[in-house]
A and B are shown apart, each in its own frame.
Chain A
Amino acid sequence: MDCTEFRPALSELVDGTLSRESKARLESHLEGCADCRALLADIRRIRLSARALPKVAPPDSVWQKVRADFEAQTRQSRPAPALHFVPKRRQVLAGLAAAAVLVLAASAGIYFMTRPTPPAAAPVESAAAHAGTAQAVQSVEAELDLADQHYEKAIAELDKVAKAGQAVLDPETAAVLQKNIGVTDQAIRESRAALRSEPTSEVAQSSLFEALQRKVGLLRDTVALINEMRKGNQAGTAEIVGSLGKS
């Protein structure tokens, strides 16, 4: 009798996942096979021992470290948004955008007056260069769109939370917040319009992402303010309201 045929089913028998037919065949084999019975008993013992392993609790010191990390991250992200991945993403995009601008300048002789260092190489016109440039620009645009979507997603989430809790804000504070958000929305619209007319402009790209960052920051402050007001923390509330006036 070939035990290797039955051994993989032993675990399933222990776990109760074996079909009725397979179970009947295996049990029939087990009646005449002491080796497989011994193996089955060991698997049962191991399973029981594993279930009986004690649960362990994390020491308090871990929370202290996690809290310190969290505070360091949120400090780093002020006044930029708490979405740490977005600025990182943006750094990559800025590099890509700068590279694309250089490719454009070198291949087509386009000179961006906003750039401090003009390209040293003489412009070279060629079909291959144009193709490369177009590809680079498309790639940068796709990356920028992606980053834009990340911001929009974060803004939508924060906006939802802010709107849900807005009832606790006093009318004057709500008006200040609304005004600031309106100004930021206008800046976002203008930056988008500038980018549409000049998609490779680093200045327009920076303006758009700065405006998006400002909006995330404002919404974040709104949520923080709502939290402080819910907790009845007057000092915390006053601090945030004060910072809103300065922004």
Chain B
Amino acid sequence: MSDIGIGDRELAARCLAGDREAFEGLYRQHAHRLYNLAYRMAGSADADDLLQDVFLQAYRKLGSYKGDSSLGTWLYRLAMNLCLDHLRSRQGKMAQVTDSLDEDNAAEVASPERPAETNAARLDLEQAIEALPPSYRATFVLHDVEGYQHDEIAKLLGIAEGSSKSLLHKARLRLRTLLGS
């Protein structure tokens, strides 16, 4: 692809200028990672639509891209916000995600005598992730599935690093319950 290696700002400007080749370069470079995020956050049924929406919104918002972060990070943040919006609207609880990002209601800990592996077949991990509340899901997907560190997650979600650690722990406890119940 001719666009590989060119600066992000130039790539953004070319996309804005209606350069289809540049836009395809942008898509090919980032679609895979963004699709995985959408797939884990929203589930397989909605991942295609979400990825399409990410790139439509990206084209519309590229004018606001200042080059402060890489285009990849900018796109990832945009995708995460769209995923959270999607979950919000699906749940019909508009304020829940923002409110719950710092919530401190610990998930119930599954009783240790019923470890996760016992009934794992009843609900596999992918299904269990889909059953997590949005804030737990976002943190778990970013950390345990995608491999992000807490400082990066804090920036992406606009929360404190300590909240990221706390949410991750609660997400794992909730998953343990879901997988072991």
Contacts and interface: CB of A to CB of B under 8 A. Distances in A.
A85 B61 contact: yes
Given A62-B48, A157-B16, A161-B17, A70 B55 contact: yes
Interface stretch (A50-58, A102-110, A169-177): A50-58
B116 A46 contact: yes
B165 interface: yes
Contacts of B168: 11
Given A7-B109, A38-B113, A55-B32, A69 B56 contact: yes
Interface stretch (B6-14, B68-76, B81-89, B95-103): B6-14
Chain A residues touching B, majority SS: helix
A8 B166 contact: yes
Interface stretch (A134-142, A178-186, A216-224): A216-224
B12 A11 contact: no
Interface string B39-80: 110001001100110011001110110000000000000000
B4 interface: no
B23 A63 contact: no
A42 B166 CA distance: 17
Contact of A82 (B17, B27, B48, B143): B17
Given A12-B165, A46-B144, A56 B52 contact: no
B163 to A, nearest CB: 12
B112 A39 contact: yes
Nearest to A70: B23
A187 to B, nearest CB: 21
B136 interface: no
Contact of A11 (B9, B20, B165): B165
A37 to B, nearest CB: 8
Contacts, number: 152
B125 A66 contact: no
Chain A interface size band reads 35 or more
Given A55-B36, A73-B60, A63 B27 contact: yes
A154 B31 CA distance: 25
Contacts of A223: 13-14, 17, 19
Contacts of A57: 32, 35
A20 interface: no
B21 interface: yes
A87 to B, nearest CB: 11
A10 interface: yes
Given A53-B125, A58-B32, A153-B63, A65 B13 contact: no
Contacts of B36: 55-56
A150 interface: yes
A227 interface: yes
A196 interface: no
A59 B13 CA distance: 27
A118 B35 CA distance: 54
Given A46-B176, A50-B140, A83-B16, A69 B52 contact: yes
The 5 A-B residue pairs with the shortest CB-CB distance, nearest first, are A50-B144, A35-B112, A38-B112, A58-B35, A11-B169
Given A46-B172, A55-B36, 4 more contacts: A47-B172, A56-B36, A59-B48, A66-B56
